[in-house]
A = this chain, B = another copy of it.
Amino acid sequence: MDAEFYTKLAAPAQTKIVLLVLDGLGGLPAEPGGKTELETAHTPNLDRLAAQSKLGLSQPAGPGVTVGSGPGHLALFGYDPIHYEIGRGALEALGVDFELGADDLAARGNFCTVDAQGCVTDRRAGRLPTEISRSLAEKLRTIRVPGVTFFVEPVKEHRFAFVARAEGLGDALSESDPLKTGVPTLPVRALNPESERAAAYVNAFIEQARLLLAKDSPANMITLRGFNKLPVLPSFSERYGLHAASIAVNGMYRGVSKLAGMDVVPLCGETIEAEFTTLEKYWQEYDFFYLHVKKTDTCGESGDFMGKAAVIEEVDRQIPRLMALQPDVVIVGGDHSSPAVLRSHSWHPVPTLLYSPYVLPDLIETFGERACARGSLGVFPATHILPLALANARRISKYGA
């Protein structure tokens, strides 16, 4: 997929495309010979849609590669996820609408609990209520270090976005989160000479934070990880001439879609139903809609097989509302697999459905991993999804005579 080639062929049209992403959609049977979460779920509406669609299994970043949500989404948005590497820090800041600039070094922050010896006892400070997190962030904003400006933005529960702004900061830094309990947080180290000044600033910030929060049990310390600066991503809209809206509850997904040049529209609520209401509300204003459902992945990662199936059923009940809008192209897929049995993201290719009046249906009557494995899209790179959607939306002009 050479994006420049497609950019040259992009043509305007009055059509509308919906990219419905069920995070971590792909799964595995709970026991040998069984059905996956998606195969278990009762999905009459998705099945009906599948029968009118082409099916396949999408691969975000090559065979055997388990991706995070960032690369998984970049692939769905048509960007080569190996070429465009985006760190979590940048995404976290973008996700809370922070205006990240070229001089900004971002990181993902956690409030955590440490004991008298400074050893971590809870990496998430008991999943601190967001309101408390907010007031602690106010405290952190008072930190001053000469030569640099810090920004702290609460995200959700124990999480916050951290940004250090100064000219010429490097972003090759080790993380302060030890990723386990019973050990102290780590000093941040520069992994190249250009990042030494950044490491000094960040360590100064962490030291002041330790003193400021000392009495704030359980959130008496912070960790920072995923340091990075913003990569330059060609705008999704400019590339393909699409006016694109992003409908997503969680920061990460709001962030990556904003990075791709989509408008992150205000939500009518945080439920799946409310996301579809948001879709209806903005239907006239945009021609590309990215709608993200998080809970499939949350259930997958926590090993909740039936919970994941239930979330899929919840999405299935919204499909008639989506189809009532008469979209020209619908893609239902995921950014990666998250089988409940693995309690984590996985490398399994992701069930994907491509609907449009111009696809030749595969005549397969269900939506599921095995159904998609028989689909004519085969196992295909996730970066192909956007070109196929554009073609079916009549937004790609002919190449050559």
Residues of A near any B CB (own CB < 8 A):
1-2, 5-6, 9, 28-29, 32, 36, 52, 57, 61-72, 81-82, 85-88, 91, 226, 252, 342, 344-348, 357-358, 360, 362-363, 369-370, 373-374, 376-380, 384, 387-392, 396-401
Chain B: minimal CB distance from A299 (Å): 18
Q: Is there an interface contact between B358 and A363, defined as CB atoms closer than 8 Å?
A: no
Chain B: minimal CB distance from A327 (Å): 16
Instruction: Give 22 CB contacts A-B under 8 Å.
Output: A1-B63, A28-B360, A63-B387, A63-B391, A64-B384, A64-B388, A64-B396, A65-B391, A66-B391, A66-B399, A68-B398, A69-B400, A87-B401, A226-B401, A252-B401, A346-B358, A347-B396, A348-B358, A348-B360, A360-B369, A360-B373, A378-B378
Alpha-carbon distance A398/B66, docked complex (angstroms): 5
Q: Write out the residue numbers on chain B whose beta carbons fall within 8 Å of the beta carbon of A400.
A: 67-72, 81, 85-86, 88
- Which B residue's beta carbon lies closest to that of A385? B63
What's the number of copies of this chain in the assembled complex?
A: 2
Asked whether A399 and B29 contact (CB < 8 A) given A347-B391, A362-B370, the answer is: no
Q: Write out the residue numbers on chain B whose beta carbons fall within 8 Å of the beta carbon of A376.
A: 57, 373-374, 379
Chain B: minimal CB distance from A346 (Å): 8
Asked whether A373 and B384 contact (CB < 8 A) given A62-B1, A66-B391, the answer is: no
Apart from A9-B65, A67-B399: 20 A-B pairs, beta carbons within 8 A? A6-B64, A28-B360, A29-B360, A36-B360, A63-B391, A64-B387, A64-B389, A64-B390, A64-B391, A66-B391, A68-B398, A68-B400, A70-B401, A81-B399, A85-B400, A347-B396, A360-B369, A362-B373, A377-B379, A379-B380
